[in-house]
Structure 1
Amino acid sequence: MTSCYAVIFTSTRTEGDNGYAEAAERMAALVSEQPGFLGVESVRGADGIGITVSYWESEAAILVWRQNPEHRLIQQRGRSEWYSAFHTRVCRVEREYRFGQ
């Protein structure tokens, strides 16, 4: 997966689910249908801090996903219900190294 873009979303969750799991499942299904989407990796600690990295073929593909109407609604719910803080970084992946699998 060289020469692609990574969107790094670091967030701190609020207490309770409040529909979060269902919305996350829907977003995973929806993003997998997006042109230019290459994959995602995600982890969340017991302290509520999580990091999700999604990979994309181009910045244009990232912008299309960002403007997806259903995704926009979920973003609004994230701000009002699910996250006490978050930040997003967009990076270009120049190379990668692997060990194992």
Structure 2
Amino acid sequence: MSISPTPRPPYIAVIFSNQREEVDEKGYAQTADEMVALASKQDGYLGIESVRDETGFGITVSYWRDEDAIKNWKANADHQAAQKAGRKTWYRAYKTRISTVTRDYGLGD
């Protein structure tokens, strides 16, 4: 994965920090790939960045045009099914934070 190109602020970042259970994949990787593909087709989707370490701790940041785009993604039935599976099978703990990006900068912009 690479640094996601985003438009000029403001836009919204959904930050999903999580700790995986110590279980076999049980469909996790496939579901995660499907959710990225599905999200990328949603109106208002801007991009995603995701990392996971060897202990199973991960952070995924998705970028969205506005709050309505996030609400529509959260209401998506396939996304809701994946969230349910995450709570039941894949995650020991997680926290979602939603923030407005007011400024961004970097090397390679």
Smaller-chain TM-score bracket: over 0.9
- Separation in 2 of the partners of 1:58 and 1:39? 13
3-state DSSP of counterpart to 1:46 = coil
TM-score, scaled relative to structure 1: 0.97
- Separation in 2 of the partners of 1:4 and 1:89? 14
Match of 1:84 among 81, 88, 92: 92
TM-score, scaled relative to structure 2: 0.90
Instruction: Specify the alignment match of 1:7 in structure 2.
Output: 14
| Divergent runs of 4+, >6 A | none
CA offset digits 1:18-50 (Å, max 9, x no partner):
110110111011001000000000000101100
Alignment of 1:1-101 (within 5 A): 1=7, 2-15=9-22, 16-100=24-108
Aligned residues: 101
Unaligned runs of 5+ in 2: 1-6
Please, what is the CA RMSD of the aligned residues? 0.9
- Separation in 2 of the partners of 1:56 and 1:27? 15
Question: Displacement, 1:99?
Answer: 1.1
Identical pairs, percent: 48
Unaligned runs of 5+ in 1: none
- Separation in 2 of the partners of 1:45 and 1:97? 25
